[in-house]
Amino acid sequence: MVWNRKIAYIDLTSSKFKIKTISKSLRNQFLGGRGINMYHLYHQIAPGIDPLGPENVLLIGTGLLTGIPALGAGRCDIAAKSPLTGAVGDSNIGGFFAPELRFAGFDHLMITGKAAKPSYIWINNGEVEIRDASHLWGKDTFETQDQIRSDHNDEQIKSLVIGEAGENLVRYANVRTGMKNAAGRTGMGCVMGSKNLKAVAARGTMDLEFPYPDQLLDYCSEMNNMITGSRWARAQSKWGTLIIYSNTNTTGLIRTRNFQLNLLEDGENLEPEVMDEYTIGMSGCYGCSVHCRHRYVLKEGPYAPIFGEGPEYTSLGAFGTMVDCRKMDTVLVANHLVNKYGIDTLEIGGIIAWIMELYEKELLTEKMIDGFDLSWGNEEAVYELIKKISKREGYLGNLLADGFLPAIAKIGKESEYYAMQIKGMSNLHSDERPTPSLALGIATSTRGADHLRSRPAIDLYGLPEELLEEIYGAPVSSNYTSYKGKSRMVWWQELLYAITDSIGICKFQTVFCAVNAPKFEEFSKLINLTSGMKLSKPQIMEIGERVLTVERMFNNREGFSRKDDKLPERFFKEPTKLGFPIVKGKTIDRDKFNTLIEEYYSLHGWDNNGIPRDETLRELGIENKQPLKT
């Protein structure tokens, strides 16, 4: 039963660990996954610590529903103080590791200290070991997983691993599992590298017990049918997330040449149909009925042969539109390289696009350039920069490995204007100037510029306002360029995604891009059938509010406030140049945007500086800010 699930406290410095049962109070207030991770992040880390020091805490948490056969329930959450931003560090990852960790007897891991030498953690049917990883150090993310399976002579082992980028403390190194899955954002791979932790491997044959197994299986089938019956899921099953490009680029909502344009003209070679040349089938994560990932083979070119999975829409933008590369081959090679080295697709794509624009505007010195031709569309420069940043080679590779904010400080203040980042983290390859709701989401996210924390993608559909009011509980304009009701959309989606990450299911199988998909009401029944907990929609939304407020408290304590909930100046000053009439010539209205922020704060119960009010903390039961019994 869920009330018997375990957390392991692992100290890498002493090589000691202890195992406890996760308390009912913590479950009731935070559920699991991201929720419990955020609680521990706030209470286990002292203010102002060095994210790369041994005092940082690495948290790995499976969702409350992880392991059920529905809704892509194979996800876990990885958290620490971010070495990239200094704010909340947190990233969600799918695949098959999280269920395996549960089958091995654990829902959560809290990892502290620093190992004296390269190490990995081995979890097997209730047992924890810290093992030597010297023979794994220097291996890429694919080789590492293969070697661990070989060492244990077990092909069913699942691992979270880092590549060379994590070992070299690139501040946006990610954590990888399988061929494609990545906890990409905020530098959690860098934190693992700082702890000399190469991997966490799990193998389990223990049961997951549920109070109502027959009803749960029936309801899982109902949920899967709900998802596969949607047009969005059917499109994903054929084209993957690349299908988004067909709409955003045609409309003029995509970031091109960093931010100079909002549409890639003559971009037909990046359309999803082009993948027919490379695809050998579709795959999915644990518990997924959609299967949105291409398995592809690249047979020609200097990097061939490549067998990989993807690319996601994000990689298409990072190595296509943002850097003005117009061949699918380029995207597939770059996608393979970032997966191999273990580095965040969005961050490295954003920083390469930025450096290319600075090169174009002659804002880089000869020393900084390192002999690179950084012209738009130079695919070899993209490949080389991925490798050099991951290995911290040369002046430019080492400079860009630390992320936007340190690089801006060294290149010069003038370069900041062209950096499409918020709180030190790169934005998605989208152009939010015509879409106030999406702009508000990236500005206020606790992680930094972010499309996975609060994005109401259905705002782009022009849905009937009666339907929008039914979903969001208040009037919302169906015009995505309008400011009316958009703060409420962002607030509602933010709570939904906080719960999604806490129960361990896929956001694509909620009200993200599909309006007729599971939301709070369905979560209520799933939570009851898996745990016996009876939570109403308002109670579940309150848990989401609690998670967001604790994240906000963590950031406030680290010096973040309203001053950091801002957009790059280009959003206000440079109108969009291309696209449909509804998006052409758009900027964000500064006064209206400030009103949106204040409305958003009010919905959360925070003051006008973005600080949670005392009465809000009392209502959420976290007013004393003291740790619960864990």
Task: Kindly list the structural domains of the chain, giving each domain's residue range(s) and its CATH number in brackets, ordered by start.
Answer: 2-203 (3.60.9.10), 241-426 (1.10.569.10), 436-620 (1.10.599.10)
C-alpha torsion sign, points 202, 6, 196, 33: positive
Looking at the chain, the whole-number percentage of residues with pLDDT higher than 90 is 95
Q: For residue range 226-285, list pLDDT tens digits in order.
A: 999 888 899 999 999 999 998 999 999 999 999 999 999 999 999 999 999 999 999 999
Rounded-to-integer distance, Cα 256 and Cα 326, Å: 11
Q: What is the mean pLDDT of residues 337-348?
A: 98
Q: For residue range 594-620, list pLDDT tens digits in order.
A: 999 999 999 999 999 999 999 999 999
Give the C-alpha distances (Å, rounded to integers) separating 524 from 366, 470, 530, 614. 59, 18, 10, 28
Rounded-to-integer distance, Cα 510 and Cα 501, Å: 11
pLDDT, position 370 = 84
Helix, strand counts (H, E) of the chain: 24, 17
Q: Is the pLDDT of residue 329 over 70?
A: yes
Q: Is the pLDDT of residue 624 over 80?
A: no
Q: What is the mean pLDDT of residues 365-392?
A: 95
Q: Which of 273, 272, 295, 271 is nearest to 282 (CA)?
A: 295
Q: Is the pLDDT of residue 630 over 90?
A: no
pLDDT, position 627 = 56
Q: Three-state SS for 59? A: strand
Which three-class secondary structure string do you get for 438-449? HHHHHHHCCCCC
Q: Where are the beta strands (DSSP E) in 189-301?
A: 197-203, 279-283, 293-298
- As a residue count, the chain comes to 630
Q: Is the pLDDT of residue 15 over 90?
A: yes
pLDDT, position 163 = 98
Q: What is the mean pLDDT of residues 193-203?
A: 98
Looking at the chain, the whole-number percentage of residues with pLDDT higher than 70 is 99
| Residue carrying the six token digits 């590549």 | 163
Q: Is the pLDDT of residue 2 over 90?
A: no
Q: What is the mean pLDDT of residues 510-534?
A: 96
What are the phi and psi torsion angles at 492 (to 5°)? -65, -45
Residues 6+ apart with CB under 8 A from 207: none
DSSP secondary structure of 511-546: TTT-SSS--HHHHHHHHHHHH-----HHHHHHHHHH
**Cβ atoms of 335 and 365 closer than 8 Å:** no
Rounded-to-integer distance, Cα 286 and Cα 272, Å: 24
Q: Is the pLDDT of residue 629 over 60?
A: no
pLDDT, position 367 = 87
Q: Which of 187-201, 231-245, 405-419, 443-457 has the lowest mean pLDDT?
A: 231-245
pLDDT, position 319 = 98
Band of residue 625 on the pLDDT scale cut at 50, 70, 90: low
DSSP secondary structure of 383-398: HHHHHHHHHT-HHHHH
Amino acid at 162: I
Band of residue 626 on the pLDDT scale cut at 50, 70, 90: low
pLDDT, position 16 = 96
Q: What is the mean pLDDT of residues 478-489?
A: 98
Q: Which of 507, 504, 524 is nearest to 66 (CA)?
A: 504
Give the C-alpha distances (Å, rounded to integers) separating 149 from 178, 200, 338, 504. 12, 12, 22, 25
Band of residue 296 on the pLDDT scale cut at 50, 70, 90: very high
**Cβ atoms of 176 and 162 closer than 8 Å:** yes
pLDDT, position 371 = 86
Name the token pair of 22. 């996760």
Q: What is the mean pLDDT of residues 464-482?
A: 97
CA 331 to chain centre: 20
Band of residue 50 on the pLDDT scale cut at 50, 70, 90: very high
**Cβ atoms of 162 and 198 closer than 8 Å:** yes
**Cβ atoms of 506 and 514 closer than 8 Å:** no
Q: Is the pLDDT of residue 440 over 70?
A: yes
